[in-house]
Amino acid sequence: MNQLNPALQRLLKYPVVFIRSTAQVDQISTHLYSSFGDLSHITMLEVVMNDFTKIGIIKNRFDESEDPAVIRAEESVIEIFKEFLEGLFRIEDSGTIDVLFLFDRSKGFNLKGPVFSGEIKGVFASRSPNRPTPVGLSTVKLVKRENNQLIVKGLDALNGSPVIDIKPSDKITAIDDLEVIRYNNLRANPRSEINELVKESALEKLLVMAAQIHGHYCPGLALGVIAGTGGIQKMGVDSDGLEDLLAIVETNNCFSDGIQFVTGCSFGNNALIFKDTGKIACMLVNRKGQGFRMVLKPDARDQMHVVYPGFADTFNKVVAKGERDSSTIDTFKSEGRTKAFTVLRLDFEKLFTVEPVRNIKVPDYAPSHESFTCTACGESTMETRGRVKDDGKYCLECAGEKVNRLTGSGINIE
């Protein structure tokens, strides 16, 4: 008798065998018939060749491996097979469900190896699809059900992955409670969450939040988050949004958004001062002019290159050469994201020279000015930007004067 491989041997134990494709039906039938002759106890159906019952299939636009965070951010559809439809009765009662699915493209496993971010981890310390039992588990938000289709958010499975089970998540209550607590804390103090994260040096979370205003992930933003966090920890005070803590940044690029977000010193609350020296540097000072100046060390780029060599070329293409086709932009975003998160592992005081400062002259609290209505355009304008002429008072533009602008190239006259 032919020696059967373990997968085929396992098949013989089951009254019903599910296999993946017609080609496999033929192949396996032939093999089994030639080995055993009578196979009347085995029924061949199309589904999957393993120990689990497939109840449905996942549909989304991701056919190949991608950053799990990107997959989770989009909606996926779980299509339940008709014979299991009744099992969805009242699933809408659950806002959050656990989905178990098969990693059908799993490539075997190593007990230790690189994960998606490039870090080395043990297989059980990772969510890698390449594991001894290739089963995935995602807790997802059930957006809605349309007959046999569940539209969900938060799933990190590839298109076509077989689903083997669904159940209401027991995390629902905990998540809901935490959301209420979080909301109430933020209602009371909008900086409460950021304060906590700064205390804990939770740089990844801060980067994720800072990127909400920055719009993309990049190493510059990560440096701003690192410097903002390190700086606030040294100062021992956070911004109250009322100009008692001031940040003086020396560049108006990505770095400054990380500083604005983490320190709470912003353009809008007058606590962010732009000193156009063109250095990746920031000074945090209190009203007495005491604080710290942080400036990026000349070898910081080398340190960043060691932990992740990518992104530099793409950055040059997009920023220096202005190549903005969609595939270059996609690479920019994906390499920028990987590099930003990798850079967070570097040490604040190895990246930045940090020096205490004393007696810094800080500007007065931002004055409040009356407004007037421009004689020509009729727009309400700050008093100090008015120009009086014989026939009325004009805004700068209507008076034909140049206006200062802060652009990507610095402060300049229009």
Distance CA 98, CA 101 (A): 10
Binding-site residue total for Zn ion (CB under 5 A)? Answer: 9
One character per residue 329-368, x = contact with Zn ion (rule: CB under 5 A): ----------------------------------------
Residue 54 has φ and ψ, to the nearest 5°, of -85, 120
- If binding is defined by CB under 5 A, does position 157 make contact with Zn ion? no
Question: Which residues are paired to 79 by β-bridges?
Answer: 57, 149
Residue 312 has φ and ψ, to the nearest 5°, of -55, -45
Distance CA 391, CA 350 (A): 61
Helix (H, G, I), strand (E, B) or coil at 197: helix
Closest CA to 73 of 85, 61, 58: 61
What is the H or E stretch that residue 259 is in?
A: helix 254-263
Nearer to Zn ion, 166 or 395 (CB): 395
Nearer to Zn ion, 99 or 351 (CB): 351
Minimum CB separation of residue 392 from Zn ion in Å reads: 10
Nearer to Zn ion, 195 or 331 (CB): 331
Nearer to Zn ion, 144 or 369 (CB): 369
Nearer to Zn ion, 73 or 377 (CB): 377
- If binding is defined by CB under 5 A, does position 207 make contact with Zn ion? no
The span of 42-50, 214-222, 242-250, 288-296 binding Zn ion (CB under 5 A) equals 214-222
Minimum CB separation of residue 397 from Zn ion in Å reads: 6
Nearer to Zn ion, 101 or 255 (CB): 255
Minimum CB separation of residue 328 from Zn ion in Å reads: 15
Nearer to Zn ion, 28 or 398 (CB): 398
Closest CA to 259 of 221, 218, 291, 215: 221
Minimum CB separation of residue 218 from Zn ion in Å reads: 3
Minimum CB separation of residue 52 from Zn ion in Å reads: 44
Q: Please give the residues from 394 up to 413 whose contact with Zn ion meets the rule CB under 5 A.
A: 395, 398
Exposed, middle or buried, 384 (CB in 10 Å: 0-12/13-18/19+)?
Answer: exposed
Minimum CB separation of residue 235 from Zn ion in Å reads: 25
Minimum CB separation of residue 232 from Zn ion in Å reads: 21
Among 254, 294, 296, 344, binds Zn ion (CB under 5 A): 254
Nearer to Zn ion, 40 or 404 (CB): 404
Q: Please give the residues from 217 up to 246 whose contact with Zn ion meets the rule CB under 5 A.
A: 218, 220-221
The span of 25-33, 99-107, 119-127, 213-221 binding Zn ion (CB under 5 A) equals 213-221
Nearer to Zn ion, 162 or 336 (CB): 336
Q: How many CB atoms lie within 10 A of CB 190?
A: 11
- Amino acid (one-letter) located at 374: C
Distance CA 239, CA 148 (A): 51
Minimum CB separation of residue 408 from Zn ion in Å reads: 12
Nearer to Zn ion, 17 or 254 (CB): 254
Distance CA 4, CA 34 (A): 11
Q: How far is CA 225 from CA 119, 201, 205, 287, 305, in A?
A: 21, 10, 10, 23, 18
Helix (H, G, I), strand (E, B) or coil at 52: coil
The span of 9-17, 36-44, 194-202, 371-379 binding Zn ion (CB under 5 A) equals 371-379
- Amino acid (one-letter) located at 170: D
Minimum CB separation of residue 206 from Zn ion in Å reads: 15
Distance CA 395, CA 375 (A): 8
- If binding is defined by CB under 5 A, does position 377 make contact with Zn ion? yes
Closest CA to 76 of 199, 181, 167, 161: 161
Q: Are 203 and 217 in contact (CB under 8 A)?
A: no
What is the H or E stretch that residue 401 is in?
A: none
Among 210, 247, 294, 374, binds Zn ion (CB under 5 A): 374
Q: Which tokens belong to 242?
A: 């009322």
Distance CA 146, CA 126 (A): 33
The span of 12-20, 231-239, 299-307, 393-401 binding Zn ion (CB under 5 A) equals 393-401
Binding site for Zn ion (CB under 5 A): 218, 220-221, 254, 374, 376-377, 395, 398
